Amino acid sequence: MHFESPIKRRQSRQIMVGNVPVGGDAPISVQSMTNTETTDVAATVGQIQRLEEAGVDIVRVSVPSMDAAEAFGAIKKQVSVPLVADIHFDYKIALAVAEQGVDCLRINPGNIGREDRIRAVVDCARDKNIPIRIGVNAGSLEKDLQKKYGEPTPEALMESAMRHVDILDKLDFQNFKLSLKASNVFMTVAAYRLIAAQIDNPLHLGVTEAGGLRSGTVKSAIALGSLLMEGIGDTLRISLAADPVEEVKVGFDILKSLGLRTKGINFIACPSCSRQNFDVISTVNALESRLEDIKTPLDVAIIGCVVNGPGEAKEAHIGLTGGSPNNLIFREGKPSHKVDNSDLIAELEKVIRAKAEEVDAEGGETPVKITLGA
């Protein structure tokens, strides 16, 4: 039932963030970041567990102090998802979290300062097989680049990124991924296009400070959607001024809509109109929240009347077409049984859960075919 994505992904080298491969032919991973005080271990662990339940692949935790580095170790012991430590420049914190079992260091080598300190961090990362994420951000571009370019531009972002890349190249360290974020959609897309043509390391996509739940989702979907459709991007984070769990949901929704991941239910629903034979909007909302725990990839079509119902149901694992006096449930594109409005949501939940169990018993997630471009 799932369509095969026509996207040809850029060929990147693969790194491992804990047990999650990033780059190469690995599925595009979805990341988020905690917004609790890292020193509040219980709150941070609780938030990471909620992110894990939502299906997150990798979680970033900011580590602004040595106290936070110590707390990071305690957090790491209580969660199973790989953790990235976000460090601005303090090499001692980087070395401390490396001892605590960090899965990736988010630190820009050019920000660390003295060469011996950079070398200490890189040697430690090499010894412990810890990847580094270089993260360039339009809001914190180096002063000389701001002067040279007058304002943040895609070229300025790339020049900044290449400075960090060159430092790692000189130390013969290739175990890194890179992000080049701006809050502007055009700048984000242009900057990633430039860097994608320059290096073969995995790229972490994101629009920084994208905005609130709705506006940030739209901005991220346009920028990341454009890049992903060109095959650019190996992992992503949707930066929202919202509950981090929403970032994970939006990230998966973008990947699902492009056929790049197949986690959970893909709802197909009509917007409804006066022809609807049941309340489409409340039915879809109720099903989305009741079935959030389902990770099995399923297409479910909820359509208010016969205008488009049977056609959409044919392409879905489970379909519902509104009718009077009864609505019709489809399984695997074929009419199955009728149900009236009073039983609708409970019956659909039952049928969808049964289908998910059936698919799981047959082997679970439908593998996504990854095509690598030239």
Chain residues that interact with ligand SF4, rule: CB under 6 A: 270-273, 275-276, 303-305, 307-308
Locus of tokens 């890179």: 178
**Measured from the CB of residue 318, what is the shortest distance to ligand SF4 in angstroms?**
17
Our CB check for ligand SF4 shows the closer of 102 and 348 to be 348
The residue ranges of DSSP E strands in 138-229, in sequence order, are 176-181, 204-205
Our CB check for ligand SF4 shows the closer of 79 and 307 to be 307
The SS3 assignment for 351 reads helix
**Measured from the CB of residue 340, what is the shortest distance to ligand SF4 in angstroms?**
17
* Of 62, 66, 29, residue with least CA distance to 47: 62
Q: What are phi and psi of 95, to 5 degrees?
A: -65, -35
Report the Cα 181 to chain-centroid distance in Å: 15
**Measured from the CB of residue 254, what is the shortest distance to ligand SF4 in angstroms?**
25
**Measured from the CB of residue 338, what is the shortest distance to ligand SF4 in angstroms?**
18
Q: How far apart are CA 103 and CA 275, in angstroms?
A: 53
Our CB check for ligand SF4 shows the closer of 179 and 266 to be 266
Identity of residue 76: K
Our CB check for ligand SF4 shows the closer of 232 and 316 to be 316
Q: How many C-beta neighbours within 10 Å does residue 360 have? A: 13
**Measured from the CB of residue 283, what is the shortest distance to ligand SF4 in angstroms?**
12
Our CB check for ligand SF4 shows the closer of 42 and 273 to be 273
**Measured from the CB of residue 298, what is the shortest distance to ligand SF4 in angstroms?**
20
Q: What are phi and psi of 252, to 5 degrees?
A: -65, -40
* Of 321, 100, 224, 371, residue with least CA distance to 216: 224
Our CB check for ligand SF4 shows the closer of 157 and 305 to be 305
Q: How far apart are CA 122 and CA 164, in angstroms?
A: 12
Q: What are phi and psi of 46, to 5 degrees?
A: -60, -45
Q: How far apart are CA 63 and CA 69, in angstroms?
A: 6
Q: How far apart are CA 102 and CA 84, in angstroms?
A: 6
**Measured from the CB of residue 278, what is the shortest distance to ligand SF4 in angstroms?**
9
Identity of residue 160: S
145 with 168: CB under 8 angstroms? no
**Measured from the CB of residue 303, what is the shortest distance to ligand SF4 in angstroms?**
5
Residue 263 pairs in a beta bridge with none
**Measured from the CB of residue 352, what is the shortest distance to ligand SF4 in angstroms?**
20
Our CB check for ligand SF4 shows the closer of 171 and 286 to be 286
Helix, strand and coil percent figures for the chain, each rounded to 5: 45, 20, 40
Our CB check for ligand SF4 shows the closer of 69 and 269 to be 269
What is the maximum span of the chain, computed from C-alpha positions, in angstroms?
77
Our CB check for ligand SF4 shows the closer of 281 and 370 to be 281
Our CB check for ligand SF4 shows the closer of 33 and 305 to be 305
CA distances from 321 to 66, 134, 280, 304, 354 (A): 58, 49, 10, 6, 19
- By beta carbon distance, the residue nearest ligand SF4 is 304
**Measured from the CB of residue 273, what is the shortest distance to ligand SF4 in angstroms?**
3
